[in-house]
Structure 1
Amino acid sequence: MGAIHVSGLGKAYKQYGSHAARVAEWVLPFCGPRHKLQWVLRDINFQVASGESVGLIGINGAGKSTLLKLITGTTLATTGAVATSGRVAALLELGMGFHPDFSGRQNAVMAGQLLGLSNAEIAELMPQIEAFADIGDYIDQPVRVYSSGMQMRLAFSVATARRPDVLIVDEALSVGDAYFQHKSFERIRQFRRDGTTLLLVSHDKQAIQTVCDRAILLDGGRLAQQGKPEQIMDYYNALIAERENQTVRLRELAGGKVQTVSGTGEASVTDIALLDADGASVEVIDVGSAVTLRVTVMAWAPIPRMVLGYMIKDRLGQPMYGTNTHLKELALEHVGAGQKVVYRFQFPMNLGPGTYSVATAIVSTETHLVNNYEWRDLALVFTVMNMRRPHFEGSAWLDPSIEIDQT
């Protein structure tokens, strides 16, 4: 079984003021260094246990790709150490290690050898590699004529032809078509069920939350947060919106869940409730029942244009449904300081049984990346139960009428 242990890991690159300084340091080493260290990663500590799946997220430049190169040994660390156990397969930079003038088949053989497979094993696995990559006659064409998606297909097929103990996947899968992404993630899920340890880099919130047990957030080359995927993805989204004024706040709720709140604070949600058909506040609702989501917003400063949005998420943080008053063409103009606004969203609760949460956002457009007055996850938690409907599976109540013709 595979595991990853990262301790005090750091990576720095030398920066010289000029080419002359670089030459002088090489020719006259006894005169002292003539460079400065530019740290890309610093003091990274975490473990990935055997069979665990961990997502690695962060904005571009946070150090994610460098960290993966250090873990796989393609780059040497400046400080600290990495220990891995078991057979490791990695998909880092797209087509990394492929020779453009060799055919896909030749590159597959070389890549397999680098993974520690014998020629006999590669020959045995080649039909499976060809079938999964599904690039047809291009398998015998030079890789230089491949699209980025074809390179990714072949690289993933080779790396996962035999189940590894540790699988490390960078953003490479994001360039594939929807069908291949679905097929790839299904293989990753099967590996997980079979005990493979997974380290996945992705900006895809759904992928992180459905595949991973835990998530790690890198920010500025340091480990900023780690915890449950939903919590870390909420913090990451808030961090993107607030990267200039850094107003992200974390608060632990009853039950141990961590709520992320961000924004300027010029407006805020002061009350939120789910009401039944009689107008009573409820925490448990029957499948298909009519409900009203009532949200009270207070403007603490003049707001030129105010939009309220909400997102209903399941217990894993996956979005079930979301909308806002901009999309509904009901944005409010020139809301004055001290003004209270009560919103009522009425809809049938056509969700499957389970626990759900509501996130709210007070913004000026359809996105929280422009003016983020307040963005709050876990603003409300409620439970849906099936008390009157026939049993069904899934996260939505889509009861059909059925017609059957027999001849």
Structure 2
Amino acid sequence: MGSITVSNLGKAYKQYPTLWSRWREWMDPRDRPRHQLHWVLEDLNFTVNVGEAVGIIGINGAGKSTLLKMIVGTTLPTTGSVQMSGRVAALLELGMGFHPDFTGRQNAIMAGQLLGMSVEEVNAHMAEIEAFAEIGEYIDQPVRVYSSGMQVRLAFSVATAVRPDVLIVDEALSVGDTYFQHKSFDRIREFRKQGTTLLLVSHDKQAIQSICDRAILLSAGKLLMEGKPEAVMDYYNAMLADHQGQQVRQDVLDNGKVQTISGTGEAVVTAIALLNEAGSQIETVDVGQQVTLRIKVQTKAFISRLVLGYGIKDRLGQVIYGTNTDLKKQVLTDVPPDSKVTFNIAFPANLGPGNYSIQTALASSDTHLVNNYEWRDLAMVFNVINTDKPDFAGVAWIDPEIQIEML
């Protein structure tokens, strides 16, 4: 079984003010240093336990790729160490090691050897590799005629031909087509069920929250936050708008979940409730029931353009539906300070049984990245039950009419 332990890990690169300084230091290493250290990663400590799935997130430049390169050993750390156990498969830059003039089959054999397999072992799995990659006769064509998606297909198929103890995945799968992405993540999920330890770097919020047990947020080369994927992703979402001078806070709710609230505070949600057709507040909703989401907002300053957005999230924190008044062409303009606005949002709760939450956003457009007055996750929690509908699977009630013809 595999595990990963990162201890006091750091990576720094030398920066020289001039080329002369670099030459001077190289010629006389006994002289005083002529460089300064630029730390890309500093003092990272975390463990990925046996059978656990951990996601790593962060904005571009946070140090995610450098961290993975040090974990797999292609880049040496400046400080600290990485300890891994078990057979490791790393999917960092799929297809980068392929020789363009060799066929896909020849490259698969070489790639498999780099992963620690023998030629005999690769050949034994070649039929499975070809079947999963689905590139047909191209398997015996030079890789230079492949598209980037075909290279990804072949490289992923080789890397996962034998279930590893530790699987490390970068953003590499984002290159492939949607069909193959689904197919690849199905294989990753299957590996997880069989006990593979997973380290995943992705900007895909749904992938992190649906696959991972825990998430790590990197910022400016340091570990900023570690915890449940939903809480970490909510905080990361708030960070994306932090150039606006906003405040970000996280509160632990009675149910143990972490609520993230961010924004400038120029407009805030003062109350939120789910109402039935009689106007009574409810916390439990029947599948398909007509409900009204009532959100009360107060402005603290003059707002030239006020947009309310909301999203319905499932128990994993994935948004299953969301919209806003900008998309619905119902924007409020020139709203004075101390105004009180009530939004009544009526819709049928065509949701599957389960627990759901509401997130709200007050901004000036259809995104909170420009003017984030307030973003509130877990603003409200409610349950959906099924009392009178046929049993069905999933998070959406999409009742079909089925016609059957026999010939």
Q: What TM bracket, shorter-length normalisation?
A: over 0.9
Comparing 229-238 with 240-249, greater Cα deviation is found at 240-249
Name the structure 2 match of 1:355: 355
Name the structure 2 match of 1:399: 399
Q: Report the Cα distance in structure 1 between the residues aligned to 2:144 and 2:223, rounded to whole angstroms.
A: 37
Name the structure 2 match of 1:204: 204
Q: Report the Cα distance in structure 2 between the residues aligned to 1:402 and 1:199, rounded to whole angstroms.
A: 43
Q: Report the Cα distance in structure 2 between the residues aligned to 1:341 and 1:317, rounded to whole angstroms.
A: 27
Name the structure 1 match of 2:132: 132
Name the structure 1 match of 2:389: 389
Q: Report the Cα distance in structure 2 between the residues aligned to 1:96 and 1:22, rounded to whole angstroms.
A: 31
Q: Does 1:221 align with 2:226?
A: no
The amino acid of 2:91's aligned partner reads: L
SS in structure 2 of the partner of residue 215 of structure 1: strand
Name the structure 2 match of 1:47: 47
Q: CA deviation at 1:113?
A: 0.7
* Contact residue 53 and residue 211 of structure 1 kept, 8 A: yes
Q: Report the Cα distance in structure 2 between the residues aligned to 1:225 and 1:155, rounded to whole angstroms.
A: 32
Q: Does 1:146 align with 2:125?
A: no
Q: Report the Cα distance in structure 1 between the residues aligned to 2:179 and 2:50, rounded to whole angstroms.
A: 29
Comparing 275-284 with 81-90, greater Cα deviation is found at 275-284
Q: CA deviation at 1:246?
A: 5.0
Paired residues for 1:156-175 under 5 Å:
156-175=156-175
SS in structure 1 of the partner of residue 247 of structure 2: coil
Closer/same/farther in 2, CA of residues 16 and 142 from structure 1, 3 Å limit: farther
TM-score by length of 1: 0.97
Comparing 252-261 with 350-359, greater Cα deviation is found at 252-261
Q: CA deviation at 1:280?
A: 0.9
Name the structure 1 match of 2:76: 76
Q: CA deviation at 1:294?
A: 0.1
Name the structure 2 match of 1:98: 98
Paired residues for 1:8-407 under 5 Å:
8-245=8-245, 247-406=247-406
SS in structure 1 of the partner of residue 125 of structure 2: helix
* Contact residue 264 and residue 372 of structure 1 kept, 8 A: yes
* Contact residue 94 and residue 156 of structure 2 kept, 8 A: no
The amino acid of 1:102's aligned partner reads: F
Closer/same/farther in 2, CA of residues 99 and 32 from structure 1, 3 Å limit: farther
SS in structure 2 of the partner of residue 237 of structure 1: helix
Give the % identical residues. 67
Q: Report the Cα distance in structure 2 between the residues aligned to 1:366 and 1:373, rounded to whole angstroms.
A: 13
* Contact residue 244 and residue 372 of structure 2 kept, 8 A: no
Q: Report the Cα distance in structure 2 between the residues aligned to 1:294 and 1:195, rounded to whole angstroms.
A: 45
Q: CA deviation at 1:287?
A: 1.3
CA deviation vs aligned residue, 1:151-210 (integer Å, no higher than 9, x gap): 211111111010000000100000110110011011101101111011111111111111
Q: CA deviation at 1:244?
A: 4.8
* Contact residue 246 and residue 264 of structure 2 kept, 8 A: no
Q: Report the Cα distance in structure 1 between the residues aligned to 2:244 and 2:37, rounded to whole angstroms.
A: 26
Closer/same/farther in 2, CA of residues 45 and 243 from structure 1, 3 Å limit: farther
Q: Report the Cα distance in structure 2 between the residues aligned to 1:99 and 1:244, rounded to whole angstroms.
A: 47
Q: Report the Cα distance in structure 2 between the residues aligned to 1:17 and 1:127, rounded to whole angstroms.
A: 55
Q: CA deviation at 1:392?
A: 2.1
TM-score by length of 2: 0.97
* Contact residue 94 and residue 148 of structure 1 kept, 8 A: no
Question: What's the RMSD between the two structures over aligned residues?
Answer: 1.3
The amino acid of 1:228's aligned partner reads: K
Q: Report the Cα distance in structure 1 between the residues aligned to 2:238 and 2:144, rounded to whole angstroms.
A: 40
Q: Report the Cα distance in structure 1 between the residues aligned to 2:128 and 2:56, rounded to whole angstroms.
A: 29
Q: Report the Cα distance in structure 1 between the residues aligned to 2:65 and 2:11, rounded to whole angstroms.
A: 12
* Contact residue 241 and residue 372 of structure 1 kept, 8 A: yes
The amino acid of 1:54's aligned partner reads: V
Q: Report the Cα distance in structure 2 between the residues aligned to 1:279 and 1:244, rounded to whole angstroms.
A: 38
The amino acid of 2:222's aligned partner reads: R
SS in structure 2 of the partner of residue 248 of structure 1: strand
The amino acid of 1:347's aligned partner reads: F
Q: CA deviation at 1:123?
A: 0.9
Q: Report the Cα distance in structure 1 between the residues aligned to 2:247 and 2:98, rounded to whole angstroms.
A: 44
The gaps in structure 1 that reach 5 residues or longer are none
Q: CA deviation at 1:405?
A: 4.1
Q: Report the Cα distance in structure 2 between the residues aligned to 1:177 and 1:74, rounded to whole angstroms.
A: 28
Q: Report the Cα distance in structure 2 between the residues aligned to 1:396 and 1:36, rounded to whole angstroms.
A: 56
CA deviation vs aligned residue, 1:112-138 (integer Å, no higher than 9, x gap): 111111111011111211221122233
The amino acid of 2:34's aligned partner reads: R
Closer/same/farther in 2, CA of residues 137 and 364 from structure 1, 3 Å limit: same
Closer/same/farther in 2, CA of residues 205 and 252 from structure 1, 3 Å limit: same
Comparing 392-401 with 274-283, greater Cα deviation is found at 392-401
CA deviation vs aligned residue, 1:318-347 (integer Å, no higher than 9, x gap): 112111111111110111000000000011
Q: Report the Cα distance in structure 2 between the residues aligned to 1:16 and 1:244, rounded to whole angstroms.
A: 34
